[in-house]
Structure 1
Amino acid sequence: MHGPALAGWLLVALCAATGAYCLLRMRSPVVEQRSAAGGEALMGFGMAAMAVPAAVFGPPRWAWLVFGLVFGAAAVRALWAARTDAHHLHHLVGSLAMVYMAVAMAAAPAGGSAHSGHGGPSGVPLITGLLLLYFAGYVLRAGVRLVPVPAPAGAGPAPRPGLALSWGDRAELALACRLSMGIAMFAMLLTM
């Protein structure tokens, strides 16, 4: 991706850490955790690889096509899984965004921006703009869901959620990972 090298390395670290946590979630006894964690781990590691600053490593064009194929297959899997779990629709959008970025990077002239000169009057292509809007909305929604809600007056002591669950099964940690990947996807789309 194009942009400052420090921002690229921070994205690499964030996405790789998120992908590693999602791999740990795949060991969960909770079926819902396992079903989403694999796709999220693939997304995290794929985003980490794609975010490596172009000045450090400029992959050949065929590598971008491999990214497109891998995430195209992930999109098909997410579409199939969305029949039973609506959360996989987000995985579908994320996978299609990765395909879009991979194809744009494969089509970009060497050393140039993926969208130089291809935008509308504002300079931002329509698909990029729509994806930016989607991920901005997703990040805001996920962020609001992480804000603690005070217990109603007179409700007594709040139960301690997560005592019976391991740290890998905590819903708020999974949501925090999704939030961080949404922020990273937004940042990657901005650099296109």
Structure 2
Amino acid sequence: MSIQRCGWCSNDPLYMAYHDHEWGKASHDEAHLFEMLCLEGQQAGLSWITVLRKREAYREHFFQFPIAKIAQFSDAELESKLQDASLIRHIGKLKAIRENAMAWQYLSQELKPQQMNVRDWLWSFVEYHTLYNDVPNYRQAPAQTDISLALSKALKKKGFKFVGPTTCYAFMQAVGMVDDHENHCSFKTGSSLK
């Protein structure tokens, strides 16, 4: 039986690998969650394949470092990254990664008395389990939902940047908080929920 993929997935090997092995799969790794939240923010106004092709450069510049180190990047360090064409050269987006690292740290401290971490806080928005949507065609998948709107508001309140409701929904799809694989897709798992 041939593999069926979602209609948005091109025949680009990088895109196929992302679709097959990452998108819609539940991630509970804090470093990965932070990376994806930031990368989805980098996408604003661009296609996801553009960000995906630059992902290794972002990892080299940011995501191989602990969140605490990213939070300490100076303006000068961030501005120097504008010289690297392998990144999206937008100072606001680059500074947002640092701001998000700082916000992540603050939120982590705020959650400690509740014996909770940021990973669990994020997953609490979907009640700790993947939501499965009925998606006949990817164009029918929502761009945002009440949950992504609530997550966006909560993240903004905590100081996160580039986390609008559409970005938050894309993040939720990316880390498997929601599974929006098309119904015919070989990688669709679970049962449909309304």
Same fold (TM over 0.5): no
Q: Which has the higher contact order (CA 8 A, sep 6+)?
A: 2
Structure with max Cα Rg: 1
Flag the structure with higher helix content.
Answer: 1
**Structure-2-length-normalised TM-score:** 0.31
